[in-house]
A and B are shown apart, each in its own frame.
Chain A
Amino acid sequence: MLQCIFFLSDSGEVMLEKQMTGHRVDRSICAWFWDYVLSQGGDPSKILPVIASPTHYLFQLFRDGIIFLACTQVEMPPLMGLEFLRRVADVLTDYLGGLNEDLIKDNFIIVYELLDEMMDNGFPLTTEPNILREMITPPNIVSKMLSVVTGKNSNVNTRLPDATASCIPWRKTNMKHASNEVYVNLVEEMDAVYNRDGALVKCEIYGEVQVDSHLPGLPDLTLSFSNPSILNDIRFHPCVRFRPWESDQILSFVPPDGEFKLMTYRVKKLKSTPIYVKPQLTSDTGNCHINVLVGVRNDPGKTIDSITVQFQLPFCVASANLTSNHGTVNILADKTCSWSIGQIPKDKSPSLSGNLVLETGLDRLHVFPVFQVGFKIMGVALSGLQIHKLDIKNAPSQPYKGFRALTQAGEYEVRS
């Protein structure tokens, strides 16, 4: 089990240490770790997540400039360590409204309190944000206002969360709400790879059903889809009952309060993508001419928004001169070139063209950049998944129900 957790800044400074067991882990392990990071090139995001040091086994997670480092000396499931650190990062992001060095340093008391409730003696307890939120009030403006108004000056709820006594661990027993509403969002990400010949090598959708529920009492919800058969690799929030899904593909559940991920899924082997990106590189005698065309391939029926194309200029490029007929082109210091297009105009198709000057001695370009494409389409789930209906039982009055859909690019790459 985990013996100790350290938070390190991205310059290797120890920000916080939380010992879990009687076997104290000396801080010197962080120095060892940092030496290791430096020996691997100094970029914490490129370090193996599981490392063996001479004295401990380390799990590390790099998130928003903070390294979460956990130490253990016993054999344990690797995913348990990694998942736990990920939850710590998620919960802290949620509580502090972001994650960076200053936020942690300003709120380390809260961080200690949270770690205390999330893990005891190296064994993870609860990591469910809804429950933690009831034990330790997040340091937001609202609670600050409240404390001023009520004169209660504490960020710890004096009452224990009811959920700890309820048979449904993710929900407290008697929830009272002024609002009576539930929102279901389909959020999909499209992963696609076009190879050098322009053929679609891989195209699939990773989707999430996000629910934001503010319902009183103990509501019992059923959600059904018109075409559940297209879904693959489904994973559920613990609140979903397994049998109804097995027999009728119906999601039946008692929701936690607030936002949560009801289900994730994958839709495989899609045939087409909404936009095309066609890069062309021709090189001769130390120059490389580049031309990238972007356009609508398959109209999804809604506006395609926030289109971006990003690529890394090869290191052998000495200088680059790129222009576009639509949108803005930026070349960053690390030779990342980003072209933000926004929406595709009606009258022309956006194109980027320019010249790359290669380093002296090089005749042709041998290394080819990969173009990463971003876009966003509101109101459409590109997988074609459709919600059939949402029924709510046990509700005192009929609540407001809202549905939304969104598709955006995930790992969408075009090779040249």
Chain B
Amino acid sequence: MAPPPAPPQKSPSPSQPSGKSEVSDLKLQLRQLAGSRAPGADDSKRDLFKRVISYMTVGIDVSAAFSEMVMCSATSDIVLKKMCYLYVGNYARCHPDLALLTINFLQKDCHDEDPMIRGLALRSLCSLRVPNLVEYLVAPLGSGLKDGSSYVRMVAAVGVLKLYHISAATCLDSDFPAVLKSLMLTDPDAQVVANCLFVLQEIWNLEANKSEEASRERETLLSKKLVYYLLNRIKEFNEWAQCLVLELVAKYIPSDTDDIFDIMNLLEDRLQHANGAVVLATIKVFLHLTMSMNDVHQQVYERIKAPLLTLVGSGSSEQSYAVLSHLHLLVMRAPMLFSSDYKHFYCQFSDPSYVKKLKLEMLTAIANESNTYEIVTELCEYAGNVDVPIARESIRAVGKIALQQYDVNAIVDRLLQFLEMEKDYVTAETLVLVKDLLRKYPQWSHDCIAVVGNISSKNVQEPKAKASLIWMLGEYSQDMPDAPYILESLIENWDEENAAEVRLHLLTAAMKCFFKRPPETQKALGAALAAGLADSHQDVHDRALFYYRLLQYDVSVAERVVNPPKQAVSVFADTQSSEIKDRIFDEFNSLSVVYQKPSYMFTDKEHREPFEFSEEIGNLSLGQESVGNAPRYAESDKDLLLSTSEREENGGPSTNGPAASGYSAPTDYNSSLVSLSSQTQSETAISDPGMPKYTSQMTLAIDDLLGLSVPAAPAPPSLKLNPKAALDPGTFQRKWGQLAVSISQDCSVSPQGIAALTTPQALIRHMQASSIQCIASGGQSPTFKFFFFAQKLDGPPLFFLVECIVNTSSAKAQVKIKADDATASEAFFGLFQSALSKFGVL
């Protein structure tokens, strides 16, 4: 065992004060050793190097010793060399001038006899990443690609990509892609082939937007010849390279059904590979190939079932988690698939809770007539689990299964048994479920109410559960003899009730109870309304005021508003649209599945896009030459990422708008009325001028409660855009961060438009004709993303900013508009939409 490299008194903290003096001490010692040829010098060098690197590792800046390290690097000891490479690679970027010193010995090492050293030196040389040293890279890379040792060729192939990222022009001018291509088709070593493929994919993907030739090259990567060449060699590749090839094959479009079956036969045994990543990549290929062949697709589901279940059961919990996320996706599309394998999803005690949670979701999703009894029995055992969050989840799962209409009878019994367990969180979760069940199956009310009536409201503390209990008290007050009195005692403790949700429900329940049993409830209702009016919470106050005035106006109207006859809820709204689920399915075997969102919702920028982004802005911003260097774009990239999250936060409440506004402050109504009347010529739709003011507020509020929308303002006089609008990227970004989204809508793109949209440039030119300029664009088929802006022609310089995500596979564009003057954004959206709809048609 090697001795500890760092002196024992050293603390790992990077801010440790002695760090500086130790670095200068190291420098001194290194300098003394630099020229030494004495025996044993290598050993002392090695100790010193180890210390330097251990400092580097814990985060102490030892870049000051750079020149000393380089001086010491003339050595034949390979470990010393490796340490030196590591050090140089880490610090060359901040010392580009000194990095020049290392070029010499690295280049020399590139001609070493030992292939290992040649490879390592070449790898380090390419990892320096100093732009002005690019010229020294080309020759060693060129000879590296022709080296006799596959190890060196393998390193050189990746080196080409590193060169490309430092200087794309140098890489392309030296014709490296062509060399890689021939290497890919001829090299006997599979790892070299894989690396070439990896590099070419990345280069052509990035170049495809810039040149026709590159996008043609990208196409050839998906040609039948190449795909079959790789598939035939697939067993030679190591597991990771297999993943890469499979990923490529998943994009391949087969020419006919024979093609599909050939590929599937070639890949059949990959499903039994020990590496889960390979198995999942193969499954993706199978699913994609058979997408259009319905019956084969079903067979594929059957075929992939066993490998997937094995992955869930046998691997680490991390693996189970990732695979379960995929299973969840599959089960949404083929619910019957796993219905007989439900036991695989039983929770083990030692599973981490994130796995248990997914397993519970699976159990909920696969429950059907045949297995509901067993699944619910199992879930009920978890309710007594030591792990409280899981106990809660499993009760919720039981409820969800009940809502799926299988075997409701038995489940209701089970739920009622939960209530008798007298465990506060079990009771709480169950109450919420019983409420949902009653909304769907009012016929069970009799059994449920009998048990719920026995629950003391004192034992229910959680706001959600308490609100559910109060809802039931109000809704079924005619069947519960104590209902008015329980409500009354709850209202007496109004001030101790912290959750506004509970107080809101109390008000409504008191109203409902009052309509059914007026004499018993009148006092309680009065107390509730009084307490509500004095409440500091705005919503509670408003609801109390609303009820109060409604009662004052007419009790029978109030009953019609507050307690109309209800229809049983047949389906509870699903949180995810089927379109989004389809999108996620297209992205099988990717992070999208784990996050349960399609990638456009969470990957805003790919790491390589900053290059492209800077390019675009550089081209398009007027009067501003070369907007800057890479670091600046790294920064702006981050800004964008952050601004999206803010944007989503801003967007959140506004989508709830209609529901919430029913209860918002009266002053709001006033102001919105004023602003409406100032905008609209015809106010008749809103209020009768003779009516007292508060009635108009009321009608509006009731309209809102019932979900009727306020009539929209007619469009202001048509909007003209400045054809020579200019905006620099900085301002754009600032504005984008500051402004709120005024319009967010989907619109469709014509099929001709989709056909024309092979590169982002096509749409950019088209929109320019309508005086809408592009400031940045990115993405690749099928998803393109654009940032546009436009300026109003006359008046003060008002800008409209647009984020537009076009999906060519669904022929949809998602448009988000932010404007300096939000009132004009509707008109602008009209212009934008008409411009977009003309794309490809003209």
Spell out A's residues near B (CB within 8 Å).
3, 13-17, 19, 21-23, 27, 45-46, 48-50, 52, 54-55, 57, 61, 72-80, 82-84, 86, 105-109, 112-113, 116, 120-121, 123-128, 135, 139, 144, 153-160, 164-165, 167, 169, 191, 193, 195-196, 201-202, 206, 232-238, 242, 246, 261, 264, 266, 312, 314-315, 366-370, 372, 411, 413, 415
Q: Is the CB of A139 within 8 A of B274?
A: no
Q: Is the CB of B273 within 8 A of A61?
A: no
Q: Is the CB of B240 within 8 A of A127?
A: yes
Q: Is the CB of A154 within 8 A of B77?
A: yes
Which residue on A lies nearest to B382, using beta carbons?
A415
16 additional A-B residue pairs with CB within 8 Å, beyond A73-B603, A367-B384: A22-B165, A74-B603, A75-B590, A76-B591, A106-B5, A108-B53, A108-B54, A113-B82, A116-B86, A121-B158, A156-B78, A236-B272, A242-B272, A266-B313, A367-B386, A370-B386
Question: What 0/1 readout, one digit per residue, does chain B (259-288) give for beta carbons within 8 Å of chain A?
Answer: 000000000110011111101110000000
Which residue on B lies nearest to A167, using beta carbons?
B236
Q: Is the CB of A315 within 8 A of B386?
A: yes
Q: Is the CB of B272 within 8 A of A415?
A: no
Instruction: List, sorted by A's number, 27 A–B pairs whose CB atoms are closer than 8 Å.
Output: A14-B59, A49-B318, A73-B605, A74-B603, A78-B590, A80-B277, A83-B275, A83-B319, A86-B318, A86-B319, A108-B5, A120-B123, A153-B77, A158-B114, A158-B116, A159-B116, A164-B191, A169-B236, A193-B348, A202-B346, A232-B306, A233-B307, A242-B269, A366-B423, A370-B349, A413-B348, A413-B349
A80→B349 CA distance, assembly (Å): 27
Q: Is the CB of A125 within 8 A of B54?
A: no
Other-chain contact of A54, B129, B151, B162, B641 (Cβ < 8 Å): B641
Tell me whether chain A's interface is mostly helix, strand or loop, or mixed: mixed
Q: List the A side residues contacting B61 at CB < 8 Å.
A: none
Decide: A366 near B422, CB < 8 A? Known: A77-B243, A83-B276.
Answer: yes
A83→B323 CA distance, assembly (Å): 12
* Least Cβ–Cβ distance between B117 and chain A, in angstroms: 8
Q: Is the CB of B381 within 8 A of A415?
A: yes
A232→B272 CA distance, assembly (Å): 11
Decide: A109 near B154, CB < 8 A? Known: A50-B322, A80-B277.
Answer: no
Q: Is the CB of A366 within 8 A of B421?
A: yes
* Least Cβ–Cβ distance between B650 and chain A, in angstroms: 16
Which B226-266 residues have C-beta < 8 A from chain A?
Answer: 235-236, 238-240, 243-244, 247
A195→B422 CA distance, assembly (Å): 22
Q: Is the CB of B2 within 8 A of A165?
A: no
Q: List the B side residues contacting A144 at CB < 8 Å.
A: 1
Q: List the A side residues contacting B1 at CB < 8 Å.
A: 106, 139, 144
Q: List the B side residues contacting A112 at CB < 8 Å.
A: 53, 82, 86
Which residue on B lies nearest to A411, using beta carbons?
B348
**Interface: B570 (CB within 8 A):** no
Q: List the B side residues contacting A77 at CB < 8 Å.
A: 243, 247, 277, 280-281, 589-590
Q: Is the CB of A46 within 8 A of B353?
A: yes
* Least Cβ–Cβ distance between A36 and chain B, in angstroms: 14
Q: Is the CB of A123 within 8 A of B158?
A: yes
Q: List the B side residues contacting A73 at CB < 8 Å.
A: 603, 605-607
Decide: A75 near B162, CB < 8 A? Known: A48-B354, A264-B274, A413-B348.
Answer: no
Q: Is the CB of B274 within 8 A of A49?
A: no
Q: Is the CB of A164 within 8 A of B150?
A: yes
**Interface: B587 (CB within 8 A):** yes
**Interface: B595 (CB within 8 A):** yes
Which residue on B lies nearest to A102, using beta carbons?
B4
Q: Is the CB of B606 within 8 A of A74?
A: yes
Q: Is the CB of B162 within 8 A of A22?
A: yes
Decide: A75 near B57, CB < 8 A? Known: A86-B316, A160-B116.
Answer: no
Which residue on A lies nearest to B348, using beta carbons?
A411
Q: List the A side residues contacting B310 at CB < 8 Å.
A: 233, 235, 266
Q: Is the CB of B78 within 8 A of A158?
A: yes
Q: List the B side residues contacting A49 at CB < 8 Å.
A: 317-318, 321-322, 354
**Interface: B155 (CB within 8 A):** yes
Q: Is the CB of B591 within 8 A of A75?
A: yes
**Interface: B168 (CB within 8 A):** no
**Interface: B378 (CB within 8 A):** yes
Spell out B's residues near A (CB within 8 Å).
1-6, 12, 42-43, 50, 53-54, 57-59, 77-79, 82-83, 86, 90, 114-116, 120, 123, 129, 149-151, 154-155, 158, 161-162, 165-166, 189-191, 195, 198, 235-236, 238-240, 243-244, 247, 268-269, 272-277, 279-281, 306-307, 309-310, 313-314, 316-319, 321-323, 325, 343, 346, 348-350, 352-354, 377-378, 381, 384-386, 421-423, 426, 587, 589-595, 599, 602-603, 605-608, 634, 638, 641-642, 645
Q: Is the CB of B591 within 8 A of A238?
A: no
Q: List the A side residues contacting B149 at CB < 8 Å.
A: 160, 165
* Least Cβ–Cβ distance between A147 and chain B, in angstroms: 11
Q: List the A side residues contacting B235 at CB < 8 Å.
A: 238
Q: List the B side residues contacting A113 at CB < 8 Å.
A: 82
* Least Cβ–Cβ distance between A117 and chain B, in angstroms: 10
Q: Is the CB of B378 within 8 A of A79?
A: no
A261→B83 CA distance, assembly (Å): 34
Q: List the A side residues contacting B3 at CB < 8 Å.
A: 106
Closest 5 CB pairs of A and B: A233-B310, A242-B269, A73-B607, A124-B240, A49-B318
Q: Is the CB of A156 within 8 A of B116?
A: yes
Other-chain contact of B238, A74, A169, A315 (Cβ < 8 Å): A169
Q: Is the CB of A45 within 8 A of B607?
A: no
Q: List the B side residues contacting A14 at CB < 8 Å.
A: 58-59
Q: List the B side residues contacting A15 at CB < 8 Å.
A: 57-58
Q: List the B side residues contacting A108 at CB < 8 Å.
A: 5, 53-54, 57
Q: Is the CB of B272 within 8 A of A235?
A: yes
Other-chain contact of B594, A78, A156, A158 (Cβ < 8 Å): A78
Other-chain contact of A236, B114, B274, B377 (Cβ < 8 Å): B274
A74→B198 CA distance, assembly (Å): 15
Q: List the A side residues contacting B378 at CB < 8 Å.
A: 195, 201
Q: Is the CB of B314 within 8 A of A206?
A: yes
Q: List the B side residues contacting A201 at CB < 8 Å.
A: 343, 346, 378
Decide: A78 near B274, CB < 8 A? Known: A22-B165, A105-B4, A366-B384.
Answer: no
Q: Is the CB of A368 within 8 A of B318?
A: no
Q: Is the CB of A206 within 8 A of B189?
A: no
A113→B353 CA distance, assembly (Å): 36
Which residue on A lies nearest to B316, using beta carbons?
A86
Q: Is the CB of A193 within 8 A of B346?
A: yes
Other-chain contact of A50, B191, B240, B313, B594 (Cβ < 8 Å): B594
Q: Is the CB of B350 within 8 A of A372?
A: yes
A159→B129 CA distance, assembly (Å): 29
Q: Is the CB of B129 within 8 A of A22?
A: yes
Q: Which of B12, B381, B606 has the most CB of A within 10 A?
A: B381
Which residue on A lies nearest to B306, using beta carbons?
A233
Other-chain contact of B57, A17, A57, A121, A266 (Cβ < 8 Å): A17
Q: List the B side residues contacting A75 at CB < 8 Å.
A: 587, 590-592, 599, 603, 606
A112→B309 CA distance, assembly (Å): 36
Q: List the B side residues contacting A369 at CB < 8 Å.
A: 386
A208→B59 CA distance, assembly (Å): 42
Q: List the A side residues contacting B198 at CB < 8 Å.
A: 123
Q: List the B side residues contacting A261 at CB < 8 Å.
A: 274
A242→B268 CA distance, assembly (Å): 10
A366→B418 CA distance, assembly (Å): 11
* Least Cβ–Cβ distance between B201 and chain A, in angstroms: 11
* Least Cβ–Cβ distance between A280 and chain B, in angstroms: 15
Q: Is the CB of A80 within 8 A of B243?
A: yes
Q: Is the CB of B384 within 8 A of A82?
A: no
Q: Is the CB of A107 within 8 A of B2?
A: yes
Q: Is the CB of A106 within 8 A of B272?
A: no
Q: Is the CB of A202 within 8 A of B343?
A: yes
Q: Is the CB of B191 within 8 A of A156?
A: no
* Least Cβ–Cβ distance between A106 and chain B, in angstroms: 5
Other-chain contact of A123, B43, B77, B195, B426 (Cβ < 8 Å): B195
A3→B606 CA distance, assembly (Å): 12
Which residue on B lies nearest to A415, using beta carbons?
B381
